[in-house]
Amino acid sequence: MSQVSVTELLRAAEDGDVAAWNSLVERFTNLLWSVARGHRLGGADAADVVQTTWLRLVENLGRIQDPERLPGWLATTARHECLRTLRRSGRELPTQTDDAFDLPDTGAPLDSGLITEERDAQLWQCFEALQPRCQRLLRILLADPAPSYADVSAALDLPIGSIGPTRGRCLDRLRALARERGLSLAGLHTGNEGATS
């Protein structure tokens, strides 16, 4: 599956190519949404962050220094908008140094939407019970297409070397939550995916 490179799409968009712009939107809107939701923003605020981020890119077309790093630029811009939104609403800002992995999450629960499988629904509830720091990291890693660690590092302002270990700890924490709630993850990973659209 050959994809046009981000650099090519960005250059074409800079030259006024609407189709190239739409391809960028198609590819990275989910990443921006993931950054916003990882910061526990509600639907309206998250949509606003996504929209503002794309407007920032429009303003900066022709000024992006390193086109391959566009996903990182977009995600970083989105994070700044998230922090601005959190400040405006007087909510507590996330801290990078907070290593308290057992702090309960105080944000409003996300809508668990239409999850067909009960076990998936339970897994998602466990995810939402993770501490904010884990949700921020894992949620952006769940973006589709998955961002590179370099982009995640830029987006969350984390040292690149810390992403792998933190990811591992957060997933362990998720497994522990699942165990506490009697949710078996056995076979979940490989489970038959055939019924998906």
Partner 1 sequence: MSDKSEVVLDTPEDDALLARLRKVAAEADPAPPMTYELARAAFAMRTLDDDLAVLVHDSAEPGQEIVGVRGTDEVRLLSYDAPMVGLELQVVARGSRRSLTGQVIGPAADAVVVETAGGEQVVHPDETGVFFVQDLQAGRVRMRLLVSDGVTVTTPWTAL
Residue closer to partner 1, measured from CB, 47 or 158: 47
What is the C-alpha to C-alpha distance for residues 156 and 137, in angstroms, rounded to an integer? 8
Using CB under 8 A as the binding rule, whether residue 196 contacts partner 1 is answered as: yes
Using CB under 8 A as the binding rule, whether residue 101 contacts partner 1 is answered as: no
Q: Read off the tokens for 21.
A: 């712009």
Alpha-carbon Rg for the chain in angstroms: 18
- Binds partner 1 by CB under 8 A, chosen from 7, 42, 52, 67: 52
Using CB under 8 A as the binding rule, whether residue 73 contacts partner 1 is answered as: no
Output the DSSP codes for the chain: -----HHHHHHHHHTT-HHHHHHHHHHHHHHHHHHHHHTT--HHHHHHHHHHHHHHHHHHTT--S-GGGHHHHHHHHHHHHHHHHHHHTTPPPP-SS---TTPPP-SPPPP----SSHHHHHHHHHHHHS-HHHHHHHHHHTSSSPPPHHHHHHHHT--HHHHHHHHHHHHHHHHHHHHHTT---TTTTT---TT--
Q: Smallest distance, Å, CB 135 to partner 1?
A: 11
Residue closer to partner 1, measured from CB, 18 or 102: 18
Residue closer to partner 1, measured from CB, 113 or 182: 113
Q: Smallest distance, Å, CB 118 to partner 1?
A: 12
Using CB under 8 A as the binding rule, whether residue 7 contacts partner 1 is answered as: no
Using CB under 8 A as the binding rule, whether residue 4 contacts partner 1 is answered as: no
Using CB under 8 A as the binding rule, whether residue 111 contacts partner 1 is answered as: yes
> Where do contacts with partner 1 occur on this chain (CB under 8 A)?
13, 16, 18, 21-22, 25-26, 29-30, 32-34, 37, 43, 47, 50-52, 54-61, 63, 71, 84, 87-88, 110-116, 120-121, 123-124, 127, 138-139, 141-142, 144-150, 160, 163-165, 167-168, 171, 174-175, 185, 188-191, 193, 196
